[in-house]
Amino acid sequence: MVIAEFNVLAGFFYFNNEYFGGVLPIPQLKLRHGWRTLGYFSYNPDAPFGMSETIEISDFFDYTKEEFRDILIHEMIHYYLCYTGEDRRCRHGKAFKAMARRFNQLYGMNITPTIDISKMKASCNASKISKFFFEFFK
């Protein structure tokens, strides 16, 4: 699956309505180009809510639909817990693990704090040097 900003936006809208009751305001959605971090949620605690929340998804790998869904929803869980005030520090603590476990059981997802990237394929978006580096250090 080719990752583009449109896919992330469309995924966010769909998953927000399907799994979060449509309560999450649209954050900034960005692409990352590295291979070490597949997804990332950040915000500025000093900024008014709705002004600094960002979800980033790496376009380095060629994800399956399920991998993309699980990565984006992983970041959306962080966003949800931050938005509701349950975990403003965005950790993989009890609240995150409980919510991930619930999603995994109810919807057959595989949301975990970390992902093993050793079997993932680099996408056509990754540079030749990055592909070589990733293959070399596999």
pLDDT digits (tens, 9 = 90+) for 11-43: 999 999 999 999 999 999 999 988 889 999 998
pLDDT at 4: 80
Global pTM value: 0.86
Instruction: Measure the CA–CA gap between 109 and 76, rounded to whole angstroms.
Output: 14
Would you state the torsion angle of the CA atoms of residues 29, 30, 32, 37, taken in this order, to the nearest 10 degrees? -20
Contact 76, 24 (CB under 8 A): yes
Identify residue 28 by its one-letter amino acid code: Q
pLDDT 10s digits, 54-69: 999 999 988 999 999 9
Tokens of 93: 């603590």
Which CATH number characterizes residue 110's domain? 3.30.2010
Q: How confident is the model at residue 128 (pLDDT cuts 50, 70, 90)?
A: very low
6, pLDDT greater than 60: yes
pLDDT 10s digits, 77-92: 999 999 998 887 788 9
**Total domains, the chain:** 1
Question: What are the contacts of 9-15 at 24+ separation with CB within 8 A?
Answer: 11/68, 11/69, 11/72, 12/55, 12/72, 12/76, 15/69, 15/72, 15/73, 15/76
Domain enclosing residue 103, as ranges: 5-136
Q: How confident is the model at residue 125 (pLDDT cuts 50, 70, 90)?
A: low
Instruction: Measure the CA–CA gap between 28 and 54, rounded to whole angstroms.
Output: 5
98, pLDDT greater than 50: yes
102, pLDDT greater than 70: yes
